[in-house]
Amino acid sequence: MKLTKLTLLLFIPFFSFAQARLFEIFGTIKGEYNSKVYLFFENNFRAKDSISAPIENGKFYFKGTLPNTPALARLHLDQTSHIADVFIEGGTVYVNCINSLIIQKGKKNTLDTTNVVRAVSVTGSKTESLKRSLESRLNQLDSTNKSDNEKREDRYEILTQFVKKYPRSRVSAYLLSKSSNLYFSQLKQLTSQLDTSLNKTIEWQALQKLLVRLDRSPLSRPGQPFHDFSFKDSSDIVTNLKGLRGKFTVVVLWASWCIPCRRDNPELNKLHEQYKEKGVQLIGVSIDTDKAMWKNAIEKDKLLWPQLIDPNDEVSKYYGLEGFPQHIILDENGKIIGKPDIAGVTAILKQRL
């Protein structure tokens, strides 16, 4: 079958100066789809900026000129479609896509459909091959039975090695911009290792937006109200932390498997005994997922203050806290005073009481 060819000279203002390179994209698509596929570059996602090619017998074709490479080519089927990202460098690229439809109820019981197009295989682009190679490793990690914390640490290690090897590659910035499951400090550290030549790319812009979103520090600044979490105690009775207001409170975040946490428990017991008659309350919030281990640790360490369990790590996720133990001190109105270590907790209690 003879395909219709669109020979396009793309004058796109956001590309920096470089020798122009011709490109061709031979594509196939399976599943349900419309009569056309659209292509735009970088972040120029508007109807007037997208170029289109007809889909004939499940095939489509683009041809044009790139003022700069590598370029992030972005394929979609309509203005609400999910987007398939493919780095191209000029020359001939072969892209095999699959599209599926998500159908949801909209307003007034109407049905809204969303195209989810994915580029399942790409050949002819070294940059895209580099991206897909690491994406494959990360996807394999996500499919393991490891805990979320273990996956996070492994992902951080994999990305650290990659960024160290490819600090100037747009792939590094691209993959970091997709790493919302890292801690803020981890992502900030990796970002600092990127070459400054990436600072004007859309990947860098997306990465900066993710950093802003992950930075939960404003929520835990002094003077902010502590969030009203609800957790169960060892008897499965639900306690809302909002009910702790009225007393000077130390919230202790810990886990049975955390050696530094267990090491602090004798000192926390002493603080509890010393200040409980002075309007101070300690409350433990564990991130254990194994209740038996949690209860055993409470008994073994002879913890004298109330204990709750947070198996989904809600407090740390909400406040972006990293590492354990953590201590959050609240005033009588439930507002945050600080997040000191055990020595800082002791000093604040002595100073204020």
- For residue 171, pLDDT beyond 50: yes
Q: In this structure, are residues 182 and 152 in contact, taking their beta carbons and an 8 Å threshold?
A: yes
Question: Would you place residue 226 in the very low, low, confident or very high pLDDT band (cuts 50, 70, 90)?
Answer: very high
Domain 220-352 has CATH 3.40.30.10: yes
Give the model confidence (pLDDT) of 113-149 as tens digits. Answer: 788 899 999 999 999 999 999 999 999 999 999 887 7
User: Three-state SS for 155?
Assistant: helix
User: What are the start and end residues of each CATH 2.60.40 domain in the chain?
Assistant: 7-123
Q: In this structure, are residues 321 and 327 in contact, taking their beta carbons and an 8 Å threshold?
A: no
Residue with tokens 């309509």: 78
The CATH-assigned architecture of domain 7-123 is Sandwich (2.60)
Give the model confidence (pLDDT) of 60-95 as tens digits. Answer: 999 998 878 899 999 998 877 788 999 999 999 999
Q: In this structure, are residues 211 and 191 in contact, taking their beta carbons and an 8 Å threshold?
A: yes
User: What are the start and end residues of each CATH 3.40.30.10 domain in the chain?
Assistant: 220-352
HEC profile of 73-113: EEEECCCCCECEEEEECCEEEEEEEEEEEEEEECHHHCEEE
Residue 238: strand pairing partners: 232
- For residue 328, pLDDT beyond 80: yes
For residues 198 and 200, give the distance between their C-alpha atoms in angstroms, rounded to a whole number.
6
Beta strands 248-254 and 280-286 are parallel
Burial 59-70 (b: 16+ CB within 10 A, else e): ebbbebebbbbb
The model's pTM is 0.64
pLDDT value at position 220? 85
For residues 52 and 62, give the distance between their C-alpha atoms in angstroms, rounded to a whole number.
8
pLDDT value at position 232? 93
